[in-house]
Amino acid sequence: MALLSTRAAYFCREALKNLRFSPFLALVSTSTIAVSLILVGLFGYTLLHGYQILDEVGRELRISVYLKPTTTKEQADVVANEVKARPDVASVTVLSAELDRERNRQLLSDDLIAGLDETAIPGSPVLDITLTNDKREQEDFDALQNWLQSLQSVDGVDDIEFAADKFRLVYSIIDIIEMVGLIICGVILFAAIFFTFSTIKLAVLARREEIEVLRLVGATDQFIRTPFYLEGLVQGVLGSFVAVCIVWVIHLRIRRFVQVEQAINVDINLLGSGMITWFVVGGITLGLLGSALSIGRHLRI
């Protein structure tokens, strides 16, 4: 037990001594790890919640099918029955021109409709379609758009109001952001590994003579390598700690701005268990990976 604690103390002392050989590069490496963790974490958080918002909005979609003023009740029922036949339609409500006009009137301010004749407010027979509460992908919106285009040719249908194009545009924008973000995150992660790699490299080169002496006295490969792994581990842990502190400050600022200054009741939690886990595991992984690559290349034992 005493031997184990002595070795642990030696490894930690050597790891910290290695960091002193190149303090500036160690600082850059730790900072790069922190920045990479923050950017990748916030990018993933934003992307995930963006898709969640689209998913929630997509579950509450409604379609308005406006019928021609001359459409009879029988024709409206035929269109409604055809719409109800689709499995993704939850309900169909048929509104008369008078009810649609009243609904439109409620959307206008009193000043705007003052002095207007009731018939001046537009109103048409309309089918209000509520879709099922299912998760929808971009392909589902494409299928809905194709169906609505075919519905447009049905006798009695005048116009269809549906925001599928906007949803498809948003999905396309998010896909582009995802692709560009992955490239940027990949470059940043590579930079973090590279700086850790360079820090370990300098430590190995600075201690070449000492390493040769350890080899001559019979030190094992693992005994020689362990301080360098610990050096990378320390940089990763420090990077994780810095990342958590910075994101905590960002979290407090954003929450204060949204909930206090803007009075918007939205639950914002940038430091959930998943984010903290990513910071810790990601930082340790980046530090150890940079160490392993550098040791494998520059420490031939």
Give yes or no for residue 169 having a pLDDT over 80: no
CATH, range 62-162: 3.30.70.3040
Q: Higher pLDDT residue, 67 or 263?
A: 67
Half-sphere CA count of 56, side-chain side, radius 13 A? 5
Q: Report how far apart the first and last C-alpha atoms of the chain are (Å, whole number).
A: 28
Task: Tell me the pLDDT band of 242, cut-offs 50, 70 and 90.
Answer: very high
The CA distance from 14 to 198, in Å, is: 17
Quick: pLDDT tens for 210-220. Answer: 777 777 777 77
* β-pair partners for 66: 126, 159
pLDDT score of 241: 92
Tell me the pLDDT tens digit for each residue of 71-91. Answer: 777 778 888 888 888 888 888
Per-residue model confidence as pLDDT tens digits over 19-73: 777 777 788 888 888 888 888 888 888 777 777 766 666 666 778 888 887 777 7
What's the rounded Cα separation, in Å, for the pair 145 and 221?
Answer: 65
HSE on the CB side for 299, CA within 13 Å?
32
Greatest mean pLDDT among 69-78, 110-119, 223-232 lies in 223-232
**Whole-prediction pTM:** 0.65
Domain spans in the chain, listed from the N-terminal domain onward: 2-56+170-298, 62-162
